[in-house]
Amino acid sequence: MMARDRYLAFANSPFGKKLTGAIGLPQPTPLERFAPGRPDLLGPVIVGAAQGGRLAAPLAELLAAAPVATLFHGEYAGWTDIAAQHRLMTGRFDAKSSGTVGSAVFDATGIADPDDLAAIYRFFHDTIRSIARNGRILVLGTPPEDAPNLAGRIAQRALEGIVRSLGKEAQHNIAAQLLYVAPGAEGAANSSLRFFLSPRSAYVSGQVVRIGKPVAQDTDGYDSHAPHAGRTVLVTGAARGIGAAIAEVFARDGAKVICLDVPQSTADLLALAQRIGGERLTLDITAPEAPKTIVEDAMARGGYDVVVHNAGITRDKTIANMTPDAWNIVMNVNLVSALRITEALLDADALKPNGRVVCVSSIAGNAGNLGQTNYAASKAGVIGMVQGFAPVLAARGATINAVAPGFIETQMTNAIPLTIREAGRRMNAMAQGGQPVDVAETISWFADPASVGLNGNVVRVCGQSLIGA
């Protein structure tokens, strides 16, 4: 049984609203998530930019294709020409008469000096109160290491502080991110702009994402409404929880999903595979023959397009009380198996061109946690794996990235003692736990065939948790 957030339901009942308000308790509201048939992007979108920005064209292209109405901040004089070129509806933003908007995007790539940062202050000073509940804030920057001089490096690095503070300040489930787009990678930003301006990124906030040199060209016939059409995706640990949601999201978006889990979960695995028109692979990933079996399955299908290393376990104890078995099994399931399977697939050339590997880390891997030396080591190791493999995969025209979930409502978190569980759930900017689908949507974005500029990233799906931030 999935854990239920009873407090969230209570705080949204008429009596609960009154009581929580009166005594100053957190007042979370349910996140608005993507559902087929709903608009892709949260509009209207207010745009702003510092002079010399590089991302007006890719942004206008995306907004025109959606299509979504735009407003521009008074200082962004160049926007009307760009909007006209893309046949995009636009009007000047006025805090008094424009009403609320779904998203606010600021192109800060032109900021070359700490003094220029005042432009971003003015943009959000004027617009933040106009962003609707469940809205989005997106800041686009240049990776500090790519800035031409010291002043630019400093100013671009400062954006992280602004965005993380906006995420904490905006409230009402508004999510804020910073996308660093390297010079020359502007054409690879589309899938990320789309994800972060959509309801799919509901529980992702306060994140810094780097978009670099594309590893491959966009595939022909790509359809952003069914991005995984015709692709074969392996998901480990698919029988329940986050893994089942990952399988469902990939199937929804067009993929053939190979659902892998241990023999004990055969019944769940069968039901899932049937429900989503996928296939099952019953296997313990720590078994010595597992990499070989997986490679054989991949080769029989002409290779995998996407591999999601999701299977994971906890065996919590303080290090003095931890048995060697508890240490070994956590390391084996969470890290060593993923490493062996990835190596075997690469050795056999079983990852297709423009392929994707996505790993599941954890905020415990960033922050560490009492009683989780084994788990945190394995999940920090997953981050190392992503960073270490990134250049290897880029050389093959493929990518590897990781998500690091915070508190997600599953059987894993349901097993946490009540008071610790309740603290974990509330200690984030959205004052609630995420759902498995929030992690799944983020993995699907990393795995999108158009995400050719995302490699070596670790993105937290944690509602901007205070833990390890």
Ligand X SMILES: NC(=O)c1ccc[n+]([C@@H]2O[C@H](COP(=O)([O-])OP(=O)(O)OC[C@H]3O[C@@H](n4cnc5c(N)ncnc54)[C@H](O)[C@@H]3O)[C@@H](O)[C@H]2O)c1
Active-site residue numbers? 375
**Could you give the string, one character per residue 328-347, with x where binding to ligand X holds by CB under 6 A and - elsewhere?**
-----x--------------
- 56 vs 467 by CB, closer to ligand X: 467
In the bound state, the residue with its beta carbon closest to ligand X is 312
Measured N-to-C along each axis, helices 290-300 and 337-347 cross at an angle, to the nearest 10 degrees, of: 40
Tell me how far, at minimum, the Cβ of 273 lies from ligand X, in Å.
13
Select 131 or 249, whichever has its Cβ closest to ligand X.
249
Pick the binder of ligand X from 228, 240, 356, 426 (CB under 6 A): 240
Query: Which of 199, 241, 278, 449 forms a contact with ligand X (CB under 6 A)?
Result: 241
Helices 373-395 and 337-347 pack at an angle, to 10 degrees, of: 10
The C-alpha atoms of residue 40 and residue 63 are separated, in whole angstroms, by 10
Q: What's the burial of 33, exposed, middle or buried (CB within 10 Å: 0-12/13-18/19+)?
A: middle
With vertex at residue 198, the alpha carbon angle to CA 192 and CA 201, rounded to the nearest 5 degrees, is 75
State in angstroms the smallest separation of the CB of 461 from ligand X: 8
The residue (of 346 and 402) whose beta carbon lies closer to ligand X is 402
What's the CA gap between 279 and 272, in Å, rounded?
A: 9
For ligand X, the binding residues in 292-321 under the rule CB under 6 A are 310-313
How far is residue 459's CA from residue 449's CA, in Å, rounded to a whole number?
18
Q: Which of 25, 412, 422, 468 binds ligand X (CB under 6 A)?
A: 412
Q: From the CB of 69, what's the least distance to ligand X, in Å?
A: 37
Question: Which residues, numbered 180-239, are part of the site for ligand X (CB under 6 A)?
Answer: 236-237, 239
Q: Are 406 and 446 in contact (CB under 8 A)?
A: no
Q: Which is nearer to ligand X, 190 or 337 (CB)?
A: 337
Out of 405, 453, 456, 463, which residue is the one contacting ligand X (CB under 6 A)? 405
Which of 75, 218, 279, 284 touches ligand X (CB under 6 A)? 284
213: number of Cβ within 10 Å: 13
Interface with ligand X (CB under 6 A), residue from 68, 360, 400, 440: 360
- Output the smallest distance, CB 370 to ligand X, in A: 16
State how far the Cα of 448 lies from the Cα of 452, in Å rounded to an integer: 8
Which two three-digit tokens encode residue 324?
């060697």
- Cα 52 to chain centroid, rounded: 29
374 binds ligand X (CB under 6 A): no
Nearer to ligand X, 107 or 316 (CB): 316
Nearer to ligand X, 240 or 356 (CB): 240
Least Å from the CB of residue 73 to ligand X: 38
Nearer to ligand X, 42 or 245 (CB): 245
Residue choice 127, 190, 399, 413 for contact with ligand X (CB under 6 A): 413
Residues with Cβ within 8 Å of residue 328, at least 6 apart in sequence: none
Cβ within 8 Å of residue 190, ≥6 positions away:
58, 61, 62, 450
The arrangement of strands across the sheet holding 207-211 comes to 90-92, 70-72, 45-49, 101-107, 131-141, 175-181, 207-211
Alpha-carbon 271 to chain mean position = 27
Under the rule (CB under 6 A), what is the footprint of ligand X? 236-237, 239-243, 261-262, 265, 284-286, 310-313, 333, 360, 362, 405, 407-408, 410-413
